[in-house]
Amino acid sequence: MAHLLVKFGGGLITDKSAMKTVDHDIISDLAKLTQNLLSKGHTVTIVHGAGSFGHLKAKKWQIAHGAKQEILTEQILAVDSIRADMRELNSILCEALAHADVESRSLPPSDWARETGPNFTGSLEQFRNSPKEIVTTTFGDVVNCNPPKRFGILSGDDLMVRIATEIPTITHVIFLLGDTEGLLAGPPSDPEAVLIPHWQPSQSISGEHDTSQDVTGGIFLKLESAAIIAETVEHVWLLDGRKPERVVELLENGNTRGTRITCK
């Protein structure tokens, strides 16, 4: 049986351009997918992005850059607000899982992690010791940092790296995307951009990063994270989250439509 670490992208489960706007249909489909995987005997751990529950406020108040004295009061209020919003989004996901008869638990990073990037500090024992039948969820969050930074954004992709490389039971790491079937040879906005079925770090890419909405690096950080994970985990994929049946197809056939990431 497989142990899947799955990233529900923020752009998949929310509308990144509209403040705190959830796609309930997608979340319901993902909850049903999770139940299906559990019913087949697989183990599932979920990381989800922030989307419009985090990126817009974080961008406005420059949270990713840490404390700035001239706007510090506003930043501190924004940090509290973003953390509350992220827990709200996570609770919406966990409620959908419960509706699909999936028991879950939440581990907000601001409770157990410090610093940003893949070398953040904080114990992953809670993930390592999680019962198979319970789905552990966590998410990109604003965490405390040492002075002078004081706070910063711990990306869901950085969480994916650490969980995937430090939990030895994980067999499949899947990034579910909201606007594309996988990695494309051009930006998703280009109708001529074709799917790249296999990617490794030696290949260059032509992507786009919408800095007006995304504060954590977009597709470039995702690929960098996926390549690191592929050094440890055999199956690392970028898949279309709008077509969750492809996750099941991958497990059943060893392949599906999407992009497989390998380290070489």
State which residues form the domain around 176. Answer: 3-261
Query: What pLDDT, on a 0 to 100 scale, did the predictor assign at position 157?
Result: 95
Q: How confident is the model at residue 98 (pLDDT cuts 50, 70, 90)?
A: very high
pLDDT confidence of residue 74: 97
> Tens of pLDDT along 226-252?
999 999 999 999 999 999 999 999 999
Query: Reduced to 3 states, what is the DSSP secondary structure of residue 239?
Result: strand
pLDDT at 227 (0 to 100)? 95
Name which of 94, 164, 109 is nearest 142 in CA terms. 109
Strand positions, DSSP E, the chain: 3-8, 43-48, 104-106, 135-139, 141-144, 151-154, 172-177, 198-199, 235-240, 259-261
Q: CA angle 9-13-16, nearest 5°?
A: 80
Q: Into how many domains does the chain fold?
A: 1
Query: Is the backbone of residue 150 left (phi > 0), alpha (psi -120 to 50) or beta?
Result: left
pLDDT at 193: 84
Cα pseudo-dihedral 49, 228, 5, 251, rounded to 10: 120
Q: What pLDDT is recorded for position 207? A: 55
Share of the chain above pLDDT 90, in %: 80
Residue 255 has pLDDT above 60, yes or no: yes
Low-confidence winner among 7-11, 76-80, 126-130, 159-163 (lowest mean pLDDT): 126-130
User: Residue 263 pLDDT more than 60?
Assistant: yes
Give the CATH number, domain containing residue 147. 3.40.1160.10
184-201 mean pLDDT: 87
Whether this model's pTM surpasses 0.85: yes
pLDDT of 215 over the 70 cut: no
Statement: residue 209 has pLDDT above 50: no
Percent of the chain beyond pLDDT 70?
A: 95
The pLDDT tens digits for 28-61 are 999 999 999 999 999 999 999 998 888 889 989 9
